[in-house]
């Protein structure tokens, strides 16, 4: 699980493994602001956890 920047992009990117296994989820947060990127990443982690552990359907 990580939040990182690529060398030729101003945006922050994420990579994380969903709880309970499954393929790694990765992509761009769409922002160059680290605080906004961290909020995006945290919301994504919570959504994936809710789907895996509580059976909630994805939005």
Q: Give the separation between CA 38 and CA 14, rounded to whole angstroms.
A: 9
At 9-58, the pLDDT tens digits run 999 999 998 887 888 999 999 999 999 999 999 999 999 888 888 888 87
Distances from the Cα of 31 to the Cα of 3, 24, 37, 57, angstroms: 12, 21, 6, 26
Q: Please state the pTM of the whole predicted model.
A: 0.84
């Amino acid at each position: 699980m990580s939040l990182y920047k690529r060398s030729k992009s101003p945006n922050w990117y994420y990579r994380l493994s969903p709880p309970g296994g499954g393929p790694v989820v990765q992509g761009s947060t769409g922002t160059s602001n680290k605080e906004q990127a961290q909020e995006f990443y945290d919301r994504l982690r919570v959504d994936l956890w809710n789907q895996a552990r509580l059976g909630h359907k994805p939005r």
